[in-house]
Structure 1
Amino acid sequence: MERTEEERQIPWTMMMGVLGGRLVAISGFLIFLSFVLAQDGIAFYAFIAFAYIITIPYSLWMRNQDRMRRLAPLQFLVDLVFVSGLVYFAGSHGHDFLILLYPLIILSAGIILPLKQTIQITILSIISYTLVILLMSQNILVEYPTNGISDALVATSGAMILRILIFIFFGIASAYVSRRCDYISKKEKQFREITQVVFENVKTGLLLLDSEDKIIMANDRACVLLGRDAPGLIGKSFSTIHRKPSEIKDSDSELRGGSDYFRRSDGSVFPVSIEDADLTLPSEAVPNAKAKPNTLVDARILNFNDLSHFLRLQSQTRQLERIRAAANMAKEMAHQIRTPLTGISGAVQLLQLNLKNPMSHEAILKERTDLYLQIIQETTRMDKVIQNFLDYAEFSPSDIRELIHSDFDREFSDIGQSK
Structure 2
Amino acid sequence: MDTDVMIRTAESRTSIARVVISSTIGAVLEWFDFYIFASLSGLILGRLFFQPGDPISEILLGFSTLAVGYFARPIGGIVFGHFGDRIGRKKMLVVTVWLMGASTVLLGLLPTYAVLGGWATALLVLLRLAQGIAVGGEYAGAATLVIENVANSRNRALFSTVANVGASFGFLLSSALLAVLTGMLSEAQLEAWGWRIPFLISALLLIVGAYIRTRIADTPAFLEMQKKEAEDSGAGIAKLPVARLFKSYRRQVFCAITVSLSMIYFHLSLVFVTPYATTYLGLQATTVLWAITVAQVIYIASSLTWAFVCDRIGRRPVLAIGFIGCFLWLFVFFNLLTPDASFGAIILAVGGELVFVGATYGPLSAYLSELFGSNVRYTGMSIGFQGGSAFAGLTALLSFALLGATGSWVAVTMLGAVSTGFGLTGTFLSRETAGRNLPE
- The alignment's TM-score, normalised by the length of structure 2, stands at 0.27
Q: Which has the higher helix share?
A: 2
Q: Which structure's CA Rg is the greater one?
A: 1
Q: Which has the higher strand share?
A: 1
Question: Which structure would you say has the larger RCO, counting Cα contacts within 8 Å and 6 or more residues apart?
Answer: 2
- The alignment's TM-score, normalised by the length of structure 1, stands at 0.28
